[in-house]
């Protein structure tokens, strides 16, 4: 049997172990420092994410006829609106001039994201709140749209977490 005296091959092993320990310690400290509010704010500050939320809000109104509450828009365009103004038959889509759709904006705050827009519309008979006209607030996302946002941002959140941990 061969026996080696002194540290021999142990020194490189200890040095590598020490480096690995320091790396793991740094990663663990970075995990402790993770701030989910700050991380999500960074993701929701992304203009592409904000535009995706706006597009989903518009799509759920225009194509699925659904309010953020999940309630369907059941108010139909009148025959007069269809004949004179060329409106489609079916539920109101809240699009005449585009002013309402264009007013929808997204703002990222520390613990939340705010979707807002101008629901007041000028008519020949004065101003109306289109939320009351369709049976509820039209600004915001329903569960289907929220699910799409989650899928859209998940890779971004994952990348932000990895960058924060392994920096």
pLDDT in tens, 72-111: 999 999 999 899 989 889 999 988 889 999 999 999 987 7
Closest CA to 70 of 165, 147, 153: 147
pLDDT score, position 1: 47
pLDDT score, position 102: 95
Where are any strands of DSSP class E within the chain? 105-108, 113-116, 120-123, 126-129
More confident residue, 117 or 12: 117
Is-contact 30 164, C-beta < 8 A? yes
Q: What is the mean pLDDT of residues 146-153?
A: 96
Exposure letters 12-33 (e unless 16+ CB within 10 A, then b): eeeeeeeeeeeeeeeeeeeeee
More confident residue, 24 or 57: 57
Is-contact 84 126, C-beta < 8 A? no
Q: Taking the domains of the chain in order of start, what are their residue ranges?
A: 37-165
Q: What is the pTM of this model?
A: 0.80
pLDDT at 4 over 70: no
Determine the Cα–Cα distance for residues 124 and 127; give it in Å rounded to an integer. 8
Dihedrals phi, psi of 147, to nearest 5 degrees: -60, -40
pLDDT in tens, 38-81: 999 999 999 999 999 999 999 999 999 999 999 999 999 999 98
CA trace torsion 20, 24, 29, 32 (10° rounding): 180
């Amino acid at each position: 049997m061969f026996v080696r005296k002194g540290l021999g091959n142990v020194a490189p092993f200890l040095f590598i172990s020490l480096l690995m320990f320091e790396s793991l310690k740094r990663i663990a400290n970075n995990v402790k420092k993770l701030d989910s509010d700050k991380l999500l704010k960074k993701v929701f500050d992304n203009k592409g994410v904000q535009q995706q939320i706006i597009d989903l809000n518009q799509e759920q109104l225009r194509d699925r006829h659904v309010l953020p509450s999940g309630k369907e828009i059941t108010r139909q365009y009148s025959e007069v609106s269809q004949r004179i103004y060329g409106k489609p038959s079916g539920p109101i889509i809240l699009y005449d001039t585009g002013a309402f759709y264009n007013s929808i904006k997204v703002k990222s705050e520390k613990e939340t994201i705010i979707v807002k827009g101008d629901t007041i519309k000028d008519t020949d008979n004065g101003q109306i709140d289109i939320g009351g006209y369709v049976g509820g607030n039209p600004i915001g996302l329903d569960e289907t749209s929220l699910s799409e946002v989650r899928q859209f941002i998940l890779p971004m959140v994952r990348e932000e977490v990895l960058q924060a941990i392994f920096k």
